[in-house]
Every structure is written in structure tokens, then in C-alpha cells.
Amino acid sequence: MSTNAASVERLLTFELATACRVCGSDGATPVIDLGATPLANALVPVDAAFREDPRFPLATIRCTDCGLMRLTVVIDHEALFTHYLYATSASRPMVAHFDRYAADIADRFALRDRLVVEVGSNDGMLLRSFKQRGVRALGVEPATNLARAANDAGLETVNAFFDSEAAGQIRRGHGGAAAVVANNVLAHIDDLRGVLNGLDALLAPDGVIVIEVPYLLDLLEHVEYDTIYHEHLSYFSAEALRRLFERGGFDLFDVERVSVHGGSVRVYGARAGQRRRHERVDQLISGERAAGLDSDRPFRVFAERVVQSRKELREMIKALRSTGDRVAALGATAKGNTLLNYCGLGNDDVEFVADSTPMKQGLLTPGSHIPIRPESALLSERPGHTLLLAWNYAEEILARFRPYTAAGGRFIHPIPLARILP
């Protein structure tokens, strides 16, 4: 998606100086300001390299009522998501994660032959896993390019944003859903009231909601500041999710922490009174209070540690480059855009970014304008060090790139503090 400066105003729909999208409170305190930053997945065609990429405020505030951390701006969701370059299938660990996810959910809630609707189904990876287990799986995906790829692969997908209208159409065409699942999606949606209305319209009386989102406690504890970008409007605690469900007439009846994306939380909801709350819910929310999530303290500590993380990464890369060492990166990730731009790292510091996504290769990273190349470039060019912008897959990547490290190559893991691996 290439946006010119003139369209910047159109994209910046409104400043979020007021109501919290979870609880409606307008009490908020500042957490961190990462500066004016280009859109994370607005990769740049080489012939547009001369243009200054549009930048938008990237700062977060904390709701003093429910604890939700959220951006101070909202970028037009049509501009962000109707053509999307992140494909789940490009990350093998995520394909494996969602295959296990499908097995767990299908077994736990006896979903064989029942309708499961996935909100934000991307290229249909999870739909495929559900179908293989005899589930009637249907996707809802706003990105036209991804919805087309899923439908071409026989994974039925409605090309739309999820709201009560889309939910009503699906209900009329397919009946009530035994489960509605949404993974790495809820944080991207401004109109959460619309999501709750859609869930109410679509869910069968005994239906379950399963939502997986990056977990605020992990973000703060591991200084995962790079996961803050304009697609991620909200940064959820379990308490904020509980409050959101309650507002929609649902109970949050179970939770579990999962390791993906730097630490996520998977929450389970049902219509109020339908299912008994597991003690894990109260344990996790008590843990949040013990961590001080209902105060500014952990957010202040987080903001201080981010400045240190930036300082140490910049020093490490500058020192490597001063010895003439070549530095590349792996993973043209959305979070990588925040990290490169906040740390002021450009093509003089990082020669190229290797990435496994064909539709990203040949483009430039937004703002920093670093060329994106196939992963094979790491082995053909053999840079001395490779910055892990896909650090959330460090274990799999180090295993897969043993030929690179066996020949002396080293990875830089930037979060929470820059360190060399192996």
C-alpha cells in the first residue's frame, strides 16, 4: 500500500484523547512515545524510495479504569487491512501453532460437524486445520488478496470486516456458530462494540468465543516495545478482556498463557451464565494486580527500560559496523519497523532484511528503506551478524540457520536487551 503525504490526513481518522474502547472511561495516563513512525506493513516499492514515507504519532496511554493500554491515534482500518502483506503461512512456527490450536479447540468443545467462524482468518491456515478435523470452518477476512488466496485454496472465506452486519449474514446463511475464534485480531479493531454485537448475532446459545492476543504483562516484562505499531490499537490484560466480555453479555470463563508472539493470552468466553469460571481466570487477574497493572508503576519501568534497550542496540550495531562487519536482518516483521525506526537504524547500518514472504521480497522497509530479500541471501552474502527482527521465532530460526552460524555467522537478539546468539 503506498500512501502519499496528501492522504495522510484521510488515514488519521481521529486522536484518541477520549473514551477507552473497553470500558468507556476517559481517564488515561501517558506510557511511552516512540515518535512519528511509518505504517508497519506499508512496504515501499523501490521506485518510490525517493519519497518520504508518511509518518504518524506512535504513542500509548493507559486507561486508569480498566488498565487497557492503547494508542493515542486510530489509523483508518480500510487503509491498513484491505490489502495485507502478512501471511500466516510464511511463518512455519505459526502454521504448527494453529494446527495444535485447532486440535485443542475442536476436541475440547466437540466441534466436529459444527460451524466455527474465524474472524481475521488471513490466508486460511487455521481454517484448513479445522477442516481436517471435520469442522465446518468459515473465515472472515478483510484483506482482498488474502481472502482470494484462501478461497482459491478451497478455504471458504467472506471478504469483509467483522461486524454485526457480516455476522448476521453468516447466521442467516450458515446458522449459529458453535465457536467464533479470533487470533491476533482483536487488538487491530477500534469498534469493539461492533465486535460484541457481531458475536451476539452469530454465536449459538451454547457457543464459545476463543480469542488469542499478545499479552500486556509479557510486553511490559520483556520490554517488547517493538510490538507497538499502528495496527495494534489495544494492548490487553486479562482484566481488560474480562471487562470487555462482561460489557457484551459474555463471561470470560477460562484463560491460558501461550508463548507465541512474545507471549500471548488465549481467553475463552460464553454467554453469561452458560459456563463455570475456571480458577485460572482469578489466578491470572490476581497476578496482574500483584504485578501492579492497576497502577502506573510497571508502565513507567517499561518506558525507562525501552530507552536502555534502544541505547544498547544502537551501540552494539555501531561498534560492529565500525570494525567493518556487515550487518543484515531476518524477518521483515511489522514489529521490526517500530524497532528500526525508533532506534534510527537505516540502510547504512543494516544491509538488507531477509524474509520468507514472496510478496515482501523486492520491496523496502518503511521509513528505513532497507531492501527485503529472500532468506537465501543470508547464506549467499554471509553477513557477520544478523539482527533478529523475527525474534519471537529465535529458537526455530537458530535451528534452521545452523549452516550460517556454523560458518561463523551470529544473530543479534534485540529484546529486551541486545545480545549475541548462539
Binding site residues, ligand DWN, CB under 6 A = 86, 90-91, 93-94, 184, 231, 261, 330-335, 355-357, 360, 375, 390, 392-393, 397
Find out whether 147 and 139 touch, Cβ atoms under 8 Å. yes
Secondary structure E strands in 280-389: 327-330, 353-355, 372-374, 385-388
DSSP state letter for 188: G
Q: The C-alpha cell of 162 is what?
A: 467483522
Residue 334, binding choice from ligand DWN, Zn ion, none, Cβ under 5 to 8 Å by partner class: ligand DWN
CA–CA dist 205, 215 (Å, integer): 28
Smallest distance from the beta carbon of 63 to Zn ion, in angstroms? 3
Residue 66, binding choice from Zn ion, ligand DWN, none, Cβ under 5 to 8 Å by partner class: Zn ion
* Nearest by Cα to 24 from 58, 56, 70: 70
Smallest distance from the beta carbon of 6 to ligand DWN, in angstroms? 26
Question: Residue 394's Cα: distance from chain center in Å?
Answer: 17
What 3-state DSSP class applies to 106? helix
What 3-state DSSP class applies to 14? strand
* Nearest by Cα to 381 from 339, 417, 322, 328: 328
Of 3, 11, 16, 20, which one interacts with Zn ion (CB under 5 A)?
Answer: 20
CA–CA dist 267, 257 (Å, integer): 9
Between 37 and 234, CB nearer to Zn ion: 234
Of 39, 43, 61, 63, which one interacts with Zn ion (CB under 5 A)?
Answer: 63
Smallest distance from the beta carbon of 69 to ligand DWN, in angstroms? 15
Residue 114, binding choice from ligand DWN, Zn ion, none, Cβ under 5 to 8 Å by partner class: none
Question: Residue 33's Cα: distance from chain center in Å?
Answer: 19
Which residues touch 288 (CB under 8 Å, ≥6 apart)? 67, 217, 237, 238, 239, 294
Q: Which stretch binds Zn ion (CB under 5 A): 14-22, 52-60, 144-152, 280-288?
A: 14-22
Report the side by side order of strands in the sheet with 234-235: 28-33, 59-63, 69-71, 234-235
Of 66, 111, 149, 150, which one interacts with Zn ion (CB under 5 A)?
Answer: 66
Site for Zn ion in 23-42 (CB under 5 A): 23, 25
Smallest distance from the beta carbon of 271 to ligand DWN, in angstroms? 27
Smallest distance from the beta carbon of 127 to Zn ion, in angstroms? 32
Residue 313, binding choice from ligand DWN, Zn ion, none, Cβ under 5 to 8 Å by partner class: none
DSSP state letter for 89: G
Between 21 and 360, CB nearer to ligand DWN: 360
- The residues pairing with 181 across neighbouring beta strands, listed in sequence order, are 118, 210
Q: The C-alpha cell of 79 is what?
A: 487503509
Residue 37, binding choice from Zn ion, ligand DWN, none, Cβ under 5 to 8 Å by partner class: none
Residue 68, binding choice from ligand DWN, Zn ion, none, Cβ under 5 to 8 Å by partner class: Zn ion
344-347 long-range contacts, CB within 8 A, separation 24+: 344/314, 345/313, 345/314, 345/317, 345/387, 346/370, 347/371
Q: Which residue is nearest to ligand DWN (CB)?
A: 333
Between 62 and 335, CB nearer to Zn ion: 62
Smallest distance from the beta carbon of 192 to Zn ion, in angstroms? 11
Q: Which stretch binds Zn ion (CB under 5 A): 19-27, 70-78, 81-89, 323-331?
A: 19-27
How many CA atoms lie within 13 Å of 115's alpha carbon, on the beta-carbon side? 20
Of 30, 55, 57, 65, which one interacts with Zn ion (CB under 5 A)?
Answer: 65
Smallest distance from the beta carbon of 77 to Zn ion, in angstroms? 20
Q: Is 389 exposed, middle or buried (0-12, 13-18, 19+ CB in 10 A)?
A: buried
Asked if 117 is part of the footprint of Zn ion (rule: CB under 5 A), the reply reads no
Smallest distance from the beta carbon of 29 to ligand DWN, in angstroms? 25
Site for Zn ion in 67-96 (CB under 5 A): 68
Between 63 and 330, CB nearer to ligand DWN: 330
Between 167 and 187, CB nearer to ligand DWN: 187
What 3-state DSSP class applies to 248? coil
Size of the site for Zn ion (CB under 5 A): 8
Q: In this structure, is the dihedral angle defined by the CA atoms of residues 271, 277, 281 and 286, taken in order, positive or negative?
A: positive
Residue 63, binding choice from ligand DWN, Zn ion, none, Cβ under 5 to 8 Å by partner class: Zn ion
Between 348 and 395, CB nearer to ligand DWN: 395
Binding site for Zn ion (CB under 5 A): 20, 22-23, 25, 63, 65-66, 68
